[in-house]
Every structure is written in structure tokens, then in C-alpha cells.
Homo-oligomer: A and B are copies of this chain.
Amino acid sequence: MDKSDTRQRIIEAARRIFLQKGMAGTRMQEIADAAGINKAMLHYYFRSKEQLFKLVFAEAVKEIFPKVEKALAGDLPIREKLLAFVRAYISQIREHPFVPLFVIHELSNRPTEFFMEPEKSGAPQKMLQKLMQEIIHAQQRGEIPDYPPQHLWVNILALSIFPFIARPLIQQLLQMDDKAFERFLEERTAQVARFLDQALRIA
């Protein structure tokens, strides 16, 4: 076996299980089994459960955060920019459907402990600050309604992320089987875009 092969398999197994069961719900033995290796290897490559978890968590955050930036970078008119973001972001999350709930859940216990310090991955925050300004300017020019930018932003995030976080709840409430929910997700991008577009019309 390649040198890094084992290491990589551990990471992948750990990722799968941590994402599904969270830090507290995950057993090192289970990761080892899933990776098809001895439990001691986990500690050989990563000192502790905590360290392995931090690595997985950090990668998960990367998958769901920095991508925010790209869609917000260009200088499209605000309305198009927001719609472009929705499309890019939903597509991004669809590739990592379990990440948002995982990150949020872990984040909710460990207040800010090992979370992105504004310096380290401060890009999103600054990018958002800039976006808030753009929104305000667009509103001053009367291009979109004057929702408080923070609320508008949370609305957009909510519409995009919520179905992935609340999947079991939604399926239960709306009586969708897995197939139906997949269809629902396929329509989702277009429907969120339409809903948002309508909400952004000037009165």
C-alpha cells in the first residue's frame, strides 16, 4: 500500500462517520473498522480523536464556506449576483449535503473554540461586509426593496441551506419518500431563485 493511502482512508472513513454521527456519537473503533485498519493506526497518524476531528471539521468548513466567495466576487448587478450565489451555493451544498448540519451542530456546543478566527479564514466576513455595502447602495438607487441587509442575507442562506439541514423533518411533514425528496431538490434551485427574484422586485 502507498504511504499516504492508509492516512487517506482514515480521513475518508472519519469524515463519513463524523459527519453522520458527530464528534460525541463517533467511536474510534468504528472509524478503524470503516477504514479497514487497526485502531492503533488512528493514533499513529493522528494523535487523538480530537485532532482527527478537528481536521475533518476544518475540511468540512472549507467545503461550505470559501465557495461563498467566488459567486460574490464578480461585479454583476446586485440582483443577478444574489441569484448567481443561490445557484452556486445550492449546487455546492448538494455535493456535501451533510456538512451544514454537521458544522452547525458541532459549532453549537463549542462556541467559537476552534472556529475560524477572523484572521485565519477572515475572507468570508470581509466579502460579506462588502456585499452588505453593495446591497445598501443598490437599495439607495432603488434597485431592490430596502430589507435590512443582514436579514436579506440570512433569508438567502436559509432558503438555500434549510432543506439539507431539515431533510428528515421535511420528508416526514410533507410525506415524501427519498425519491420524492430527490425530485424536490432538483427543482429547488429554480424555485428558490424565483422566490427570491420575486421578493426582490421593487414594490
Contacts and interface: CB of A to CB of B under 8 A. Distances in A.
Interface of A: 20-25, 101, 103-105, 107-109, 111-112, 115-116, 118, 124-125, 128-129, 145, 147-148, 150-155, 157-159, 161-163, 165-170, 172-176, 184, 187-188, 191-192, 194-196, 198-199, 201, 203
A154 B187 CA distance: 13
Given A125-B172, A198-B198, A201-B203, 14 more contacts: A21-B109, A22-B24, A101-B108, A115-B168, A115-B172, A151-B187, A154-B163, A154-B170, A154-B174, A157-B166, A157-B170, A158-B163, A158-B166, A165-B166
Given A154-B162, A165-B104, A172-B115, A199 B203 contact: no
Nearest to A184: B150
Contact of A104 (B20, B118, B166): B166
Contacts of A128: 173-174
A118 B173 CA distance: 9
A170 to B, nearest CB: 6
Contacts of A23: 25
Residue from A116, A161, A169, A187 whose CB has the most chain B CB atoms within 10 Å: A169
A159 B159 contact: yes
A118 B174 CA distance: 11
A176 B151 CA distance: 13
A183 to B, nearest CB: 10
A182 B24 CA distance: 29
A69 B133 CA distance: 40
